[in-house]
Every structure is written in C-alpha cells, then in structure tokens.
Structure 1
C-alpha cells in the first residue's frame, strides 16, 4: 500500500471509512496504488484506470474512461457538463459500498479491459462547441474580452461555452456572460478558485466561504 495514500486517508474528517473500503475493493482487482492529483489513484501497466476522491456531500470512485463502460446498473454519473470521458460512482453510505462490492469490481475489471484494448473516446474539440450569439456580440463590442477568452485553456473555454449556452432566454445568457467577464479577464475558469484557500486547486472547494463568514472580501 502507498504511504501517501495512508496519510491522505488518515487526514480525512469525513468519508474515511467509505474511501478505505473502496481502496480495499480496488486493490482486490489487482491495480497498482499511486497518489496523484492529491488523491489515491490506481493503474494497470502505468495506465490510469480509476481514482477515489471525496466531496462535501459524497465520496466517489472515478473511472477515467467511464463513458466507454456499459453501465448496466445505470450508476455512472457525469461530474460536470464539461466532463467528456470520466464518470463517477457516488456513495454516501458504507453499507451501500459493501453491498455493491461485486458490481464495483465488475466495473473496475471492465475499465481495465477497455484500457488493455486501447479503446479511446474521440473528444469534442473546442471548435465543435456552439458559440452563443450573445457571446459573439460581446466579442465584437470588446476585442480585449475576445482575446482574454481565447487565451484561456481549451477546457476552460468549453466550460464557459456550455455555461453560456444552457439558458433558453437570451437575457439570461447575456447575464451569465457579463457576470463571468471579470473571471475571464483574470484567466480563471468557471469553477477555478480565486480566493487561494482551496485544497483542490485550481478547482474551488468552497473555502471562500470562510472569508465570507469573517466579512473579508478578497
């Protein structure tokens, strides 16, 4: 077992028992344990298969190529709209994990098989995503805003495009764009941490709420 993973689990104040159980189940599938991206990660022949991670309301096992799994139990979850390949199985109860052990192992073994076969998802490029008319309008009005948007990473651009395109009403789309302009000029993605307190950088984990409680405005 990886000592960094031991340290990670020992530090947890929540979901420790659940993630420890998931760890045991995954190791039973013959995967190698690593510590990557600040979480326990599991690989086969140096190929990443799954990782386990915790959130405020749930913990989860994440399959890096989960979209390619058959999912007969209909338990895989797309974490965000911008997530193309990875899928999660989420948990909030230790007993449920124990009951689902055979299913979890079945999914993990299929994920290993998919990696051994070299199967890959053809991901959508940023250019494949629709650019809302409201955003095009803002680009015409402010070329510097367009430049700032284009300077974002492809993943951050896709996240904003999905966020802006989701509302049906034009005024709602425009409102979302205007509220995001400052973040875009600063080079931040839709879910990036801007307070500097997050333990999941670049993603925000809600640590900014500590600032709100103390009345400090960053």
Structure 2
C-alpha cells in the first residue's frame, strides 16, 4: 500500500531516505502521528522527532534537541536566534543515513529519555499589557466589558497591544473608538486575516 506523500518532503526526491529514517524510528517506542500535515513521532503525546525532505537535504529534527549531548557534533539550529530547542540532523544521501544508523538510533533514544525526564524549554511568559484608557472604557460600559472578557486571552492581548503600541494619547483614543464596535460584535482584531 502506497503511503500519502509527506508534505515535509518539499521536493519529493527523498522518498527512499525518508523510508530509511522511518524504519530507524520504528525500532523505538515512539508513536507516529500527523501534525502540521507531516509525520511527528511522540511519546505520551509529546513531540520527540520529525522527518522531512528539503531542497538540498533530508533531515530528522529533535523537538528538544538542545538537550542532546551531540557527541558527533552533527546537530544544527535551523533558525539561529529564533529556534530555542529544535535541532536538526541533515543528510544528503541514503548512504549517509545508513552509515549513521546506529548513532541516529542513539540520538533518538536519548531524546526519548530526555522527554521522559521532562527536559523542555518552557515558553517565556509575556509581560502583561495594561491600558489605563481601555480599562476606563470597560468600567464605563458593562456591555463592552462583558464582550471583551468573552475573548480568549490571546485576542484580548491583540487589542491591548494595538491600543498601547500608539505613542500619543489621541491615537490611543482613536484606536479605542475603532475597536469598540468590533468588541461588541465579538470580532477579534485580526479575525479577517484568519481562515
């Protein structure tokens, strides 16, 4: 039975290599799931590794790879300065994967042990945004307050960032007047951009 194409195999030139990586992962206790349209291997529903093919390489990424010992010095941060925990091991041929099969398995097993030990980088808490002008509006209008509180914290934060990113008070007041009808209608600030 032919499997669906891996959407993380961007060029569809790595089918055999992805199959080899999958066969190595299958030797572990990881469970295959589909997340973000591609295969992700998990333990206790926590992401451990994923695989994908790109223009010049096929890779296995470790969601908390920052905690791996990386004795072979093969792991790379795909997005330096942005990605905190994720690390990739990139391969340019099936021969390279086969030659490193034992080490790949060791890295995966270490990643599983790290996940079981609870090693993870916790997301940084964002500083709370307070808008005195918006709070005054909410105090004055119970319907507005009730409608605003019905939004998720994320959407509330979008409104507050929009108001408080203005430098001048008159701009803040103007923004408040523009968002009040949206809040009362239950429309988030950026809903029109979300599908």
TM-score by length of 1: 0.53
Q: Pairwise mapping of residues 144-155 of structure 1 onto structure 2 (< 5 A)? A: none
RMSD: 2.8
Q: Which blocks of at least 5 consecutive residues in structure 1 are unaligned?
A: 128-145, 151-186, 188-218
Q: Which blocks of at least 5 consecutive residues in structure 2 are unaligned?
A: 128-160, 166-189, 191-195
In structure 2, what is the equivalent of residue 7 of structure 1? 4
Give the paired residue count.
130
CA separation of 1:80 and 1:104: change in aligned 2, threshold 3 A? same
In structure 2, what is the equivalent of residue 87 of structure 1? 87
In structure 2, what is the equivalent of residue 30 of structure 1? 29
Q: Pairwise mapping of residues 46-195 of structure 1 onto structure 2 (< 5 A)? A: 46-81=45-80, 82-122=82-122
**Partner Cα distance (1:45, 1:122) in 2:** 18
**Partner Cα distance (2:115, 2:103) in 1:** 19
CA separation of 1:18 and 1:119: change in aligned 2, threshold 3 A? same
**Moved runs in structure 1, 4+ residues, more than 3 A?**
9-12, 122-127
TM-score by length of 2: 0.59
Q: Describe the superposition over 1:62-111 as per-residue Cα deviations: whole angstroms up to 9, x where unpaired.
A: 10000011101000010012111100000110001001000000000000
CA separation of 1:67 and 1:123: change in aligned 2, threshold 3 A? farther
CA separation of 1:126 and 1:77: change in aligned 2, threshold 3 A? farther
Greater Cα radius of gyration, structure 1 or 2: 2
Determine which structure has greater relative contact order: mean sequence separation of CA pairs < 8 Å that are 6+ residues apart, divided by chain length. 2
